[in-house]
Amino acid sequence: MYMQRDVFQAIADPTRREIIDLLAGQSLPVKDVASNFEMSRPAVSKHLKILDECGLVVIRKKGRKRLYRSDPRKLQEVAEWTARYRRFWSQKLDALEAALAEEDNQNE
């Protein structure tokens, strides 16, 4: 894992999105996170490391345990990017098709 990650890449993996969902509202040690998935604990550990590098989780040491919890604030970047296109699904009139029809009329 050498690449510089951003939040968009972090949430591209469905397992990591599930982890974020799982750890929203509760702190869990790695072992308990891993028990929710059909993969080895080290695999989950790697996903948690990526989420940590992106600032999407917070960690608190508790004895030999590491308590992970979601910190979804960085998701704001994603939310803001998608929000720019909100009108495309929130408008009653289908904006895209209307625009395309307009282009066709202009024989673009």
User: 59 - beta bridge partners?
Assistant: 68
Could you tell me which of 47, 56, 52 has the C-alpha nearest to residue 75? 56
CA atoms within 13 A on the CB side of 29: 7
Task: By CB under 7 A, tell whether 93 contacts DNA.
Answer: no
Quickly tell me which residue has 């495309």 as its tokens. 88
58 contacts 51 by C-beta, under 8 angstroms: no
The nearer residue to a copy of itself, 30 or 58, going by C-beta atoms, is: 58
Least distance (Å) between residue 68 CB and a copy of itself? 12
> Coil, strand, or helix at residue 70?
strand
Asked whether position 43 contacts DNA by CB under 7 A, the answer is: yes
Query: 60 - beta bridge partners?
Result: 67
| Contact map string, positions 68 to 97, toward a copy of itself, x by CB under 8 A | -xxxxx-xx-xx-xxxxxx-xx------x-
| Residues at the site binding a copy of itself, with contacts judged by CB under 8 A | 6, 8-9, 11-12, 14, 17, 24-25, 27, 58, 60, 62, 67, 69-73, 75-76, 78-79, 81-86, 88-89, 96, 99-100, 103, 108
| Residues at the site binding DNA, with contacts judged by CB under 7 A | 1-3, 5, 9, 12-13, 15, 29-32, 39-43, 45-50, 59, 63-66
